[in-house]
Structure 1
Amino acid sequence: MKTKNTDGTRTDAVETVAFLARSEHRVHVLELLADGTRTRETLLTATGVARVTLSRILGDLEERGWIEKDGNEYALTEYGGLVYDDLARLLGTVSLGESYPDIVGHLPTEWFGFDARHLAEGSLVADEHADPLAAARTVANAVRGADTVRALVGSFVSLPLYAYAEAMRTGDEPDAEIVFGGGTESVVRDDDGIADCVRAIEANAGTHVYYSVEEPFPCNVDLVDDETVYLSLPRERGGGFDVIECDHPAVREWARERFERTRTRAAPYAAQPTAVGD
């Protein structure tokens, strides 16, 4: 009876992955072919490598069964597609960790309705600023200059509220709808200045701007002009927020749909007895 040498197979697999990962150009060729067939000349132009280097890369990839040649065109094999898909996921995970090393372990990935790897295409706002509210101020400035704002508020911060009120005074306020998550409304209710500002905004707008639901949100989500998403996560130490700015289509779509679903079951905040504060 034959015994399977799993250790040897695993070692070979690790060496094969290392062979691929060691060359950015090999990965780039697979990435290009993942989008469809390419001619040698197209690959040469896209990669910018020397002709002899490309020939060596194509030969290596073809030898391993990852690509195939038909005339002057190259394409991924079924096996090559599987290899590239898994490698792309690994690269995305590592990129996410390198982009946000201090907060990646605190991202509410189960709450996100998108692949968190997409956030690697975003950036951390004001991450080296000494002011703990610098990142939140960036969000407030985005609100002030926006045409539309849709927001889910899990942890209240007053800067966007006052930015909206200031924009309203100058007649430049965005079309805004904000939903407070469970527990957040008590911050507004218990602070007379904030409560007065909310009531003044809605009185001037002539319609409801603020809404509330009972469920909590693990972070704040601001969708600005349907183009940019700001995810604000409360810091565990030192106060303030870590804010990720991202415009990846999947992140924007999630923010839009998440807000719309939440908004349909939210109650107007000003209609709540606790919001009146008399």
Structure 2
Amino acid sequence: MTTPTPALQITGLSKSFGTTQAVTDVNLSANPGRVLALLGPNGAGKTTTMRILLGLVSADTGEALIEGRRYAEIPNPARRVGAVLDAGGLHPGRTGAQHLGITAEMIGATGERVTHLLQEVGLTEAAHRRIGGYSLGMRQRLALANALLGDPAVLVLDEPANGLDPAGIRWLRQYLRAFAAAGGTVLISTHVLTEVALVADDLVIIDRGRSLLSGALDELTSAEGRDLEQLYLSITTAPTEATTHSTATTEVHTETETLR
């Protein structure tokens, strides 16, 4: 069985803001047909890692590649990678349909694609309402639709379940699983253990700016003889344990079949 070329590859990534070290030697890879969860407490460095991957912040050291290239090197990147880092940056005076229509015109997507995605994310009835009247969950759905306009092969989502009700979380989980099953690559950041257990194939645990543990989720829990909660808390709560793991990252490698 051939190991697929990673769709996302982050190696030796470090970034400081003044005297604050945001990430230190972060490493991860995400393969086509898989959902990778970047799991860690608030302030662990998850968002900074994603911002560097998407070219919004420059790294001090290391590299972050999407399909072998830096984000800035990808022609019309919305056609290859869709991202949601913050659903709050939507113009409150525009309607959902107007917002998607503007993005579609910029990246060369069709009006039919806009209509399809509004239906896909459950916003058809709210399409002509102003975004200022949307709930947080509706804004999350709209932001996801915006990320999908270019029919990308890769999704990068920061806390995508934030603001969704239980039905919305279930819908998102099913959508991401279907996206991966069709050969797409998904990277999500979260601190919600239950969702990781239900949606992720692979896992990277990050804390204090360092990637501490990575590998296939089922193999990690099996090898450690602990469930996900026990494994996560054993690594992220005790400073001595976190330091130990950060200096010698545990890697569990597994071969996966390329689906794309």
TM-score range, shorter chain: under 0.3
Bigger relative contact order (CA 8 A; separation at least 6)? 2
Which has a greater percent of strand?
2
- Rg bigger for which structure? 1
Which has a greater percent of helix?
1
State the TM-score, normalized to the length of structure 1.
Answer: 0.22
